């Protein structure tokens, strides 16, 4: 399998963490797509993923699977023992619900802030920006942090009692928050404590070094 991504990207981080959690590193080759050069918007890449986003999984038969949730679902099902996307109908429902909320209320909101209210990926890539919309989404992301603060006051993980894809999505959001210098509010102590705990997981610690860019593009 190949995964097209960018080694420090917050969305690629989600799939890299899933790869490590499932111990699939030896079965995956990472191919570097330089975001700042706009390589994800070239015709060659758009042929792989119409949306022009990272990451993208390429299977050995030439099938391309985009979107972090879909890729994680595929990887989690390979061994027939799902650990990230839910084992029971209730677990699956809760995990997918909370992962979607993490996208909408945190990760995607920070992405809009990054692309619209900061220099983003630079003028060659950011052909349209709406700063007002970006700052509104920044406020939304902060509200999202408070939402997950309330969740984590009641339970150890985002979707309940086990580490799951929902946790990975929030981790991706907080990685992005760090990249844009958006700190977790001081009053969100439970969220910060959870994130500190997540940093201790080998899958999170080693996500960037899983493949070096020079090696990935060879």
- Per-residue pLDDT, averaged over 97-102, amounts to 98
Q: Report pLDDT for 214.
A: 40
Q: Domain 89-201: give its CATH code.
A: 1.20.1050.10
Token pair belonging to 41 = 């918007």
- Between CA 54 and CA 31 the distance in angstroms is 11
Cα–Cα distances (Å) from 55 to 6, 30, 92, in that order, read 8, 10, 23
Could you say which of 3.30.200.20, 3.40.640.10, 3.40.630.10, 3.40.30.10 is the CATH number of the domain covering 2-83+204-216? 3.40.30.10
pLDDT tens digits, one per residue of 133-176: 999 999 999 999 999 999 999 999 999 999 999 999 999 999 99
The model's pTM is 0.94
Q: Is 145 exposed, middle or buried (0-12, 13-18, 19+ CB in 10 A)?
A: buried
What pLDDT digit, counting tens, does each position of 24-78 carry?
A: 999 999 999 999 999 999 999 999 999 999 999 999 999 999 999 999 999 999 9
Domain positions in the chain are: 2-83+204-216, 89-201
């Amino acid at each position: 399998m190949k995964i097209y991504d960018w080694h420090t990207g917050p969305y690629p981080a989600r799939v890299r963490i899933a790869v490590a959690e499932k111990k699939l590193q030896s079965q995956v080759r990472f191919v570097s797509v330089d975001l700042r050069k706009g390589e994800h918007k070239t015709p060659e890449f758009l042929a792989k993923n119409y949306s022009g986003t990272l990451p993208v999984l390429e299977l050995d038969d030439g099938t391309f699977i985009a979107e972090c949730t879909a890729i994680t679902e595929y990887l989690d099902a390979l061994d027939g023992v799902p650990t990230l996307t839910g084992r029971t109908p209730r677990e699956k429902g809760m995990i997918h619900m909370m992962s979607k909320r993490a996208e909408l209320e945190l990760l995607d909101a920070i992405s809009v802030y990054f692309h619209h209210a900061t220099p983003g990926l630079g003028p060659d890539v950011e052909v349209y920006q709406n700063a007002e919309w970006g700052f509104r989404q920044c406020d939304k992301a902060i509200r999202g942090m408070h939402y997950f603060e309330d969740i984590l006051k009641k339970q150890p993980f985002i979707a309940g009692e086990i580490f799951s894809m929902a946790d990975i999505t929030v981790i991706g959001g907080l990685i992005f928050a760090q990249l844009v210098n958006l700190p977790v509010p001081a009053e969100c102590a439970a969220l910060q404590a959870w994130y500190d705990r997540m940093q201790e997981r080998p899958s999170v610690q080693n996500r960037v070094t899983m493949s070096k860019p020079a090696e990935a593009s060879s």
